[in-house]
A and B are shown apart, each in its own frame.
Chain A
Amino acid sequence: EAGVVQSPRYKIIEKKQPVAFWCNPISGHNTLYWYRQNLGQGPELLIRYENEEAVDDSQLPKDRFSAERLKGVDSTLKIQPAELGDSAVYLCASSARRTAFRETQYFGPGTRLLVL
C-alpha cells in the first residue's frame, strides 16, 4: 500500500511569490491534515479535513494561506504571497475513521520550502 504522497519535495522561491503544495493521502483515509514544521520544532497543525470539509482551520493564517480538498481525496495548500518566515517543512498526514475513533496519523515526506 502506498503511503502519503507529497509534491514537490523541495521548493525555493522569492518572497512575495505564490507557492502551492500537493498531497495525496493513503487510499481510504477520509481525514487529512496539513502541518508546518519549523527547524528544530515539532509539527504544528494548520488545517484538518474530514472528507472535503475543513473542520479545523483555526491555526491557518488565512490572510495568505488557503487550502482545498475538492473531491475529498487530494489536497492543495497554497501560500500567496510567501514571506521569509514561511520557510519550513510542510507535512501532510492522513488517517482513517473506524467506528467512533480515528486511527493513527501517517505522515508524508513533506515539502521543504525556502523563501529568499
Chain B
Amino acid sequence: GENVEQHPSTLSVQEGDSAVIKCTYSDSASNYFPWYKQELGKRPQLIIDIRSNVGEKKDQRIAVTLNKTAKHFSLHITETQPEDSAVYFCAASTLGGGADGLTFGKGTHLIIQP
C-alpha cells in the first residue's frame, strides 16, 4: 500500500518568513495530494490540493508543488502569520481508483514565532 513520509516533524519560523513542508510517497498510482491543517482539538481542514496532471498550484500565500518523477510534493507558506500555527498533514490517494482513502503523513507542527 501507499506510504507517505513527511518532514520536518516540527518547524519554527519567524512571523513574516516562509515555511516549507515536504512529503514523499511510494505508490506511483497516487494522483491526488491534499494538504490539511489541524488546529488543536479541531477537525482537519483542507487548505490546498493538487492533482497529478499539474506541477504547481497557488492560492494566495499557500502553494503546493508536485514532482511525479521523484514522488515528492511540498507545501509553501509565504508571509507567515500567527494564525498559521497548527499541525499540517500531507496525504495521497488515487482519485477514482479502488482503495482511495487518504494515506496521511505523520504531520508537521508549524510554530510561528512573533
Contacts and interface: CB of A to CB of B under 8 A. Distances in A.
B43 A109 contact: yes
Interface residues of A, number: 24
A44 B106 CA distance: 10
B102 A105 contact: yes
A45 B42 contact: no
A25 interface: no
Nearest to A46: B101
Contacts of B103: 45
B70 interface: no
A73 B105 CA distance: 29
Contacts of B42: 109
Interface in B60-107: 89, 91, 95-96, 98-107
A60 B34 CA distance: 23
Contacts of B36: 107
Contact of B101 (A40, A41, A56, A110): A56
A91 B96 contact: no
Query: Which of A101, A105, A108 has the largest number of chain B CB atoms within 10 A?
Result: A105
Interface in A58-116: 58, 91, 100-102, 104-110
A59 to B, nearest CB: 8
Given A42-B89, A48-B101, A105-B102, A91 B44 contact: yes
Nearest to B6: A42
B104 A44 contact: yes
Contact of B44 (A100, A101, A107): A107
Nearest to A92: B43
Contacts of B91: 42
